[in-house]
């Protein structure tokens, strides 16, 4: 398996957002594109990927949404459908404390608790890291990517406690979904 985690610094932690207006709700649109780029190839879902979003906006941060490609159902690649899927699952969590779809888990958990529970050394993506071509990636990596606000010093400190590796795709700053698309293709070609 490979796992991708997006830190969403301002994204709402409730279902009170409109799928018609994605970029105005703490940039949930970035999460939708990240889900598309991590969990889909051209024609199918990637069954070897788990995607995590850690939402940190109001009203009650943090919220961790996990989508497991091995058994997810009813997920379609367009941004609006993905936004509806996220909204439906958060609403179900608010109402009944469970997600709405098989393959989706939601909990009130932040980055540190996630790493503590997984006992994993994460691979952080940052322009200033070691070049990806010079690094031996783990067989089952957990990649961590920032949203438009990036990754804070506090996040870096947390990851450091779990023996993180910091890797770079070069000096050019890319969008989160561009980084994850590259990583998926890079990993596909390694197999
Ligand atoms: C749009 S960028 C964040 C920009 C933000 N303003 C900042 O200064 O960090 C989104 C994320 O993609 C990853 N990223 C972007 N370009 C990268 C690169 N060249 N190498 C490695 N990671 C990169 C980082 O995790 C970054 O937080």
DSSP codes joined into one string, 64-105:
EEEEETTT--S--SSHHHHHHHHHHHHHHHHHHSS-SSTTEE
Cα of 134 from ligand 1 centre, angstroms? 19
Question: What residue's CA is closest to ligand 1, atom 8?
Answer: 150
pLDDT above 90 coverage of the chain, percent: 94
- Per-residue confidence band for 157, with pLDDT thresholds at 50, 70 and 90: very high
Nearest ligand 1 atom to the CA of 144 is 25
pLDDT at 17: 92
The pLDDT mean for the chain works out to 96
**Ligand 1-lining residues (CB < 6 angstroms):** 125-127, 145-146, 148-151, 168-170, 172-176, 179
Cα of 123 from ligand 1 centre, angstroms? 13
pLDDT at 24 exceeding the cut of 90: no
pLDDT tens readout for residues 81-127:
999 999 999 999 999 999 999 999 999 999 999 999 999 999 999 99
Q: Which residue has the tokens 């608010």?
A: 94
Give the residue-averaged pLDDT of 140-161.
97
- Per-residue confidence band for 132, with pLDDT thresholds at 50, 70 and 90: very high
pLDDT at 26: 83
Cα of 137 from ligand 1 centre, angstroms? 19
pLDDT at 190: 85
- With the most atoms of ligand 1 within 8 angstroms of its CB, the residue from 56, 133, 150, 181 to mutate is 150
pLDDT at 191 exceeding the cut of 80: no
Give the residue-averaged pLDDT of 50-79.
96
- More confidently predicted of 39 and 18: 39
Give the residue-averaged pLDDT of 24-45.
93
Q: Is residue 114 within a helix (H) or strand (E), and if so which, with residue range?
A: helix 111-118
- C-alpha pair distances (Å), 96 with each of 18, 99, 100, 108, 119: 21, 8, 9, 14, 29
Question: Topology of 2-190 in CATH?
Answer: Alpha/beta knot (3.40.1280)
Domains of the chain: which residue ranges? 2-190
């Amino acid at each position: 398996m490979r796992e991708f985690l997006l830190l969403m610094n301002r994204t709402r932690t409730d279902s009170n957002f409109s799928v018609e207006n994605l970029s105005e709700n703490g940039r949930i649109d970035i999460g939708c594109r990240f889900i598309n780029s991590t969990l889909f190839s051209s024609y199918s879902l990637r069954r070897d990927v788990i995607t995590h979003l850690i939402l940190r906006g109001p009203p009650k941060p943090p919220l961790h949404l996990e989508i497991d490609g091995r058994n997810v159902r009813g997920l379609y690649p367009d941004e609006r459908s993905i936004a509806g899927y996220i909204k439906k699952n958060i609403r179900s969590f608010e109402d009944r404390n469970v997600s709405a779809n098989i393959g989706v888990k939601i909990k009130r958990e932040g980055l540190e608790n996630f790493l503590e529970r997984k006992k994993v050394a994460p691979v952080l993506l940052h322009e200033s890291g070691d070049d990806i071509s010079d690094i031996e990636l783990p067989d089952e990596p957990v990649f961590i990517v920032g949203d438009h606000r990036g990754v804070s010093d506090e996040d870096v400190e947390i990851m450091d406690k779990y023996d993180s590796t910091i890797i770079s795709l070069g000096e050019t700053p890319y969008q989160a979904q561009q980084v994850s698309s590259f990583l998926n293709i890079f990993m596909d070609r390694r197999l």
